[in-house]
Amino acid sequence: MVICAALCFAIVASSGAGARAQDSHYWNLHYGTRGELVSGVMVGSALDLSSSYYNPGAFARTEKPSVLLTGSVFALQKVTLVSADTSQESPAATNNGPSPSMVAGLLPMKWFGGRMGYSFLTRQQLDFRLVVRNGVFVGNSQPIDSLSIGGEAMFDQRLREYWGGVTWSKNLSDRYSAGTTVYGVRRSQRTRLQGLVQAFGADGYGASGTTVKELDYRAIRVLAKFGLLADFGRTIVGISFTTPGLHLFGSGTAEDVSSITGDVDFDGIPDGAAIISFAQDQDAEYHSPASVALGLSRELGATTLHVTTEYFGVVDPYTVLASPAPVTGPGVTGIAVDYDNAAKSVWNAGVGVEHRFSDKGTGYAAFVTDRSSARPVEGISVVVSDWNIYHVSGGAALEFGTTELTLGMAFAWGSNTIQPTVPPTGDLPPNLVPAEARYSRMKFIIGIAL
């Protein structure tokens, strides 16, 4: 049943694309009580202790090196799959709750005359579940005049990446300072894509197809950031370099099962077959690129302009987890499947504005670009996002004695057109048309520096 197979494939492909979040982006999360308000445009600034991440060279010049507790109190995140056919409903995946945060502070020691600090942050966090259902009555050639086809696809993803590091930073002179942060990184990802399609016709005809793809892995790596800051009075220039991630160890499991039942090719003979791949406790790894960032801040009276740009290098195609072909049996074919990843080079840039209204109050606003690094691979890709995201933010920092409170909001958005894809021998169902995946996130920001 060519049409049935095509519809199953198209539904699953569309649901996977529709659930895309921001797992191929590098500037999707921001840190620091004030750093959140300028969307991370801080490589040429020393606004708070989040400089341990943005530019370790600025860490030694942070004016108020107090404990930094920063987080988005609440985030509203949504992905919607909008069909070009206005008669079809638009399924959506939502995720509401606390947004990732950062904790940073000073260590009670000095090393070679430099300031020591620590930081813990969530670098990636994605939780999405999207269900797509579709049904259609399809006219067909003999021997089956028409078919009633129904399908359902489910996409579920949970991604976490945590960074923990130690920072050393020193003032080299009245004008220059340098520093480095060494991070240990733990990344875990669980992605499941599941599809079911059934077709029924006259005289008791029936057939169905199912597909399940699941990946679950954890990987540990280390990397370092190096930074330099030059303070020329009203103008501050910063540069930072991030090393590629060095893989240490990792493991994971994977499953890929596709099956059909019923008379698929209309020859009057029941067809039943399955193609499977399964791996358990296999080695897994994740690579991250090198990057270089340049930042500048310029004081213009009561207003300070912040500008940052960062270039992320290429990650050549590699296998995150390899699933060998399992033992097969009657009607079951085992195949080897590779879960791959790669990244193209991207430029990100942002601009922020800081305006001091009084000795106790400062306002902030920013706009940044966040381009996708998604790149095609030969195997099954572990990345599910390929659109560019844009961020705007704003808010204020208020001082109460030795405590600083920051309040603000941030909004991010992006979209991409999804073209339905079917097997080369398939027929595209008449009601399956291109769709647009729309991503949005609203954050309500609160930060406290003690």
Chain segment 121-153, per-residue pLDDT in tens: 999 888 878 777 766 555 555 555 677 778 788
For strands 315-323 and 346-356, give the pairing.
Answer: unpaired
What is the phi/psi pair of residue 4, to 5°?
Answer: -60, -45
Chain segment 50-86, per-residue pLDDT in tens: 899 999 999 998 876 666 655 556 788 888 877 656 6
Helix (H, G, I), strand (E, B) or coil at 4: helix
Q: May I ask the CATH class of domain 2-449?
A: mainly beta
Is the distance from CB of 26 to CB of 348 less than 8 angstroms?
A: yes
pTM as predicted: 0.85
DSSP H/E element including 353: strand 346-356
- For residue 48, how many C-alpha atoms fall within 13 Å in the half-sphere facing its CB? 31
Tell me how far apart the alpha carbons of residues 425 and 427 are, in angstroms, rounded to a whole number: 7
Chain segment 88-116, per-residue pLDDT in tens: 666 777 777 777 678 888 998 889 899 99
Tell me how far apart the alpha carbons of residues 345 and 20 are, in angstroms, rounded to a whole number: 20
Tell me how far apart the alpha carbons of residues 145 and 142 are, in angstroms, rounded to a whole number: 6
Chain segment 164-176, per-residue pLDDT in tens: 999 999 999 999 9
Tell me how far apart the alpha carbons of residues 25 and 328 are, in angstroms, rounded to a whole number: 39
Chain segment 274-300, per-residue pLDDT in tens: 888 888 899 999 999 999 999 999 999
Q: Does the pLDDT value for residue 433 go beyond 70?
A: no
Q: Which amino acid is at 48?
A: D
Q: Does the pLDDT value for residue 16 go beyond 70?
A: no
